Structure 1
Amino acid sequence: MSVDVIGKSCSLDFYGADCTQHCSNEATCSGHGYCQGDGSCQCFQGWAGTNCDVEKTLYQHECSTDSECQAAISVNSTCTQKGICECTSHSAGPTCLSCATDLYGLHCDRYCSNEATCNGNGICQGDGSCKCFQGWAGTNCDVEKTLYQHECSTDSECQAAISVNSTCTQKGICECTSHSAGPTCLSCATDLYGLHCDRYCSNKETCNGNGICQGDGSCKCFQGWAGECSTYCQAEVTCYGHGTCGGDGRCQCYNGWGGERCNQTDVLPVGSALVQRGSSSAIVASDGAASVRPAPPVLPLNMQRQTVPRGATQSA
């Protein structure tokens, strides 16, 4: 097999004006790029180096000013003396949007503690303010509303008067169950959520430190994290720009690309040819049948090849 290079026909994996430059997509370019007409590697997005064997990450942006990092990553990134972007001391994560413990807000510069700031009667929200539990009010949830001291004879009386988390004691007074508290018994114990305070959720354990527990006990993952907040996926980096991130954090590849990270091009069936037809391409089998699919990314001339059975006629 031969490859056309600048008007010359070179043997497979040889390039350059004199066809003396050896280059292999898999060997020379490490499977992370393709050979160009001069025999050098053109790396896929997310890879660098002469042989495309250096994997980039969001933290490896070269820079000269903080503004370059903030434009490429987020407002919480800064340019180090080494000329590499890193997260500021109060932030972390692939995009520097995960704030340190008890810090909130876009810039991770607002302090809030459920116990200290909200007095244990509320939870810190994303902007660093307190959201008070039912029965409490005030900026710091330190203003207690009227307490319930209902007399009762059955649990159902308490549940109807206060909430589902109240019970009737032997003294005939409504009290909160052991896993709840507050004037209306709707304040759950630490790491318990849901209307009945029976759903366990921990930011560090359940959400793997990459998300926060919501009121129903489920995890709300930080940007880029999916599933149980344990799988990171960014389409341009993880999927090499050849697919999108699914709800489970896995890459869903565009037509013409495959592999776990969408960095492998489709292989044509034996005896078939890839023929360009306008904005689409058709796979033409040896029996003449054709199936149309969107055109894959355009490759350099030396990467384009067609295999047509002897005696067959290729139509445009």
Structure 2
Amino acid sequence: MMEMGVSIRCHTMLLWAVIFCSLLCFTSSTNLEDPNLCSHWESYSVTVQESYAHPFDQVYYSSCSDILKWFKCTKHRVSYRVAYRRGQKTMYRRKSQCCQGFYENGEICAPHCTESCVHGRCTAPNTCQCEPGWGGNNCSSACDSTHWGPHCSNRCQCVNGALCNPISGACVCSRGFRGWRCELQCEPGSYGHGCQQKCQCQNAAQCHHMSGECRCSPGYMGAFCEEHCPAGKHGPQCEERCSCHNEAVCHHVTGECSCPPGWTGKLCSQSCPQGTFGPNCSHECQCHNNGLCSASSGRCLCGPGYTGDR
């Protein structure tokens, strides 16, 4: 009976060892500390051989007073012996696998995106983290001209038609502008892309900050404003007509008349007063004896009976 008890205990310990190993010996290549790793218990059946105490009827003889049985009576007692049988045992084991929305990728549980992230990476189930300059659910849409950065979430600050870098947000200025927002025109004397070109305008003409075209000062004309207005014209863009008389010269800027000798007045329409001659009638005649003085040259025209320069 003692041997039978020891054998039963040994088989029971072996069974529990199998169960314990099934609980602890489950391995996975995934890092068990991965926050995206989920675990659950699952059951399974195994066929085991188990021992049990099998009863049987044991017959033996003992002395008795029955003369008919020759003083030898038959007796019965129940005894037990170790027996074996096959049985099904339900086991439990812990199973670890990536949580829903994740898949096993080496030693980590990586998120899964149904749509592939074209210009970005999958950071959560069906969630793309776009690279700067790209947006949309799967990062396939380039930022428009007014937005930049990841998911095109930043608004451009550029002005005056400048282009916005979709990655950094830096402004690429149009011709004729400068500044971090392209809010400033080129400094006087420069124009074009990056304000790198030098103006060629003359005579205090203004240079267009974008094209470099010269805006002539009043009285000048030509591609670089290097020429005076033509005769008879003056003022801005040489569009005003001169009003001078008697072949007076008109100033190309102001239109002021420069009178020829012998003429005076704002429009040079008046002859010099008697006794004066020359430019602006600034000289006095030197003629004597009633000689007439030429208003232009001052030459004396002698009266009857007189001769000589004066």
The alignment's TM-score, normalised by the length of structure 2, stands at 0.24
Instruction: Decide which structure has the larger Cα Rg and report it.
Output: 2
Higher relative contact order (CA 8 A, sep 6+): 1
